[in-house]
Amino acid sequence: MNVLVIGKGGREHALVQKLSESPMVDELYAAPGNAGITEATCVDIVETDIDGLIALVHSKDIGMTIVGPEAPLELGIADRFHEAGLKVFAPTQKAALLEGSKSYAKAFMQRHEIPSAAYATFSDPEAAKDYIQAQGVPIVVKADGLAAGKGVVVAETTEEAIEAVDDMLVNKRFADAGATVVIEEFMEGKEFSLMAFVNGKDVYPMITARDHKRAYNQDKGPNTGGMGGYAPVPDVSAEDLTFSYEHILQKTADGLIAEGRSFTGVLYAGLMMTQEGPKVIEFNTRFGDPETQIILPLMKNDLLQVFEDVLAGKDPELEWEDQASVGVVLAANGYPEAYKKGMPIPQINGNVYTAYAGVAGTDEQLVANGGRVLLVGAKNDTAPEAAKTVYQALKQIDNNTDYFYRTDIGL
């Protein structure tokens, strides 16, 4: 079967790499892909060009399409594929609202008694500010819609919270995506990510992962798209995990069916382990980045068979290696603020895997083309041992001042 992966980041490279191991896959395509994705034929069609993607699927006789990023989901790519009679592993536009609107997701969780932070929704800035004054800090201000991971402000002071409200509601920083804000109770605890393959009521969880979103060591510095992480997460108890499967993932799948938004695809829950047990920070309706790059190397199954089984209503019988995986992101110096592009990508050798993200150029000479350039990962019996392998390999580029990486991931 010919298979298409839509997207251009490290997540999509990891999907392509895993799919390339499948004997069921004939030709593998990525659209638009990136210059580091050599296991697939990259076709220059952007993620949101749904007509172009459908034409590609017809012309290359593609039997299965996997959607990486959220933007095409919000545009209804799955609905368009279904109308055209094409197989796609992705949620419909209605189901993708769970990620596309935080106010919808919060109200949904309240209706279905899925544990999450207390909240209120505002489009009037003065009412939002009154609420902040009444609640006190710390408090969390979120743009309602998709904001490329930049729409969340965890405010330590009232001034910061009010500035976030002005930014979103008055200065329209995120345009329509920020025309409504969700203001949430601050939750304390350790975070973890839990993804599952879902088809209607059928939920098949993957192993847990932990993503490090802050730019610098000890989770300091500005928020980023993710600087690396590890899987599985050893500090989630079996009890918390079972609770998360039953009272978060399963309830969400069932609740979406009850609301006429039956979900097919990957459901991602960002969870906080609070004193009262796991609570939802956010839902995504797709594979996480960088969680996917870290988790898929531990999957024993044929990934195409997993997609086929889940779509056919069959248990894919997920199996995982009894190992840990650690991935560290190499970023352009300056990221997530201004950074340069065009620097050569260094060769990193060792017993590691590499997922390319912000790269361009040719097979012979890749160059940097984004903030997060690549992820270097390794597997071993424990996360600290895997991390040692990654950091040993990264030592090779320690005198390269074009890039930086965190030195504390998985240790």
**Footprint of ligand GLY (CB under 6 A):** 211, 226, 284, 288-289, 291
* Closer CB to ligand GLY, 101 or 284, in the complex: 284
Which range in 181-189, 240-248, 343-351, 365-373 contacts ligand AMP by CB under 6 A?
A: 181-189
Least Cβ distance, residue 349 to ligand GLY (angstroms): 27
Q: Which of 201, 277, 198 lies closest to 243, judged by CA?
A: 277
Site string for ligand AMP, 207-236 (x = CB under 6 A): ------x-----------------------
List the end-to-end C-alpha distance of the chain, in Å, as a whole number: 41
Pick from 24, 71, 154, 343 the residue near ligand AMP by CB under 6 A.
Answer: 154
184 binds ligand AMP (CB under 6 A): yes
Which range in 35-43, 149-157, 332-340, 392-400 contacts ligand AMP by CB under 6 A?
A: 149-157
**CA distances (Å), 181 to each of 130, 165, 168, 190, in order?**
14, 8, 7, 25
Measure the CA–CA gap between 92 and 76, rounded to whole angstroms: 6
Chain length of the chain: 411
Which range in 83-91, 107-115, 179-187, 327-335 contacts ligand AMP by CB under 6 A?
A: 179-187
140 makes contact, choosing from ligand GLY, ligand AMP, none, with CB < 5 to 8 Å by partner type, with ligand AMP
281 binds ligand AMP (CB under 6 A): yes
* Closer CB to ligand GLY, 69 or 316, in the complex: 69
284 makes contact, choosing from ligand AMP, ligand GLY, none, with CB < 5 to 8 Å by partner type, with ligand GLY
Measure the CA–CA gap between 200 and 231, rounded to whole angstroms: 26
Judged by CB under 6 A, the chain residues 89 through 108 that form the site for ligand AMP are none
Least Cβ distance, residue 229 to ligand GLY (angstroms): 8
* Tokens linked to 336: 């997530």
* Closer CB to ligand AMP, 214 or 341, in the complex: 214
CB of 35 within 8 A of CB of 373?
Answer: no
Q: Cis bond leading into 316, ω under 30°?
A: no
Measure the CA–CA gap between 203 and 206, rounded to whole angstroms: 10
216 makes contact, choosing from ligand GLY, ligand AMP, none, with CB < 5 to 8 Å by partner type, with none
* Tokens linked to 111: 């209706």
Residue with tokens 């419909």: 92
* Tokens linked to 175: 């345009």
3-state secondary structure of 195: strand
155 makes contact, choosing from ligand AMP, ligand GLY, none, with CB < 5 to 8 Å by partner type, with none
For 260-313, give the DSSP string: T---EEEEEEEEEEETTEEEEEEEESS--TTHHHHHGGGB-S-HHHHHHHHHTT
Residues that bind ligand AMP (CB under 6 A): 117, 140, 149, 152, 154, 184-187, 191, 213, 270, 281-282
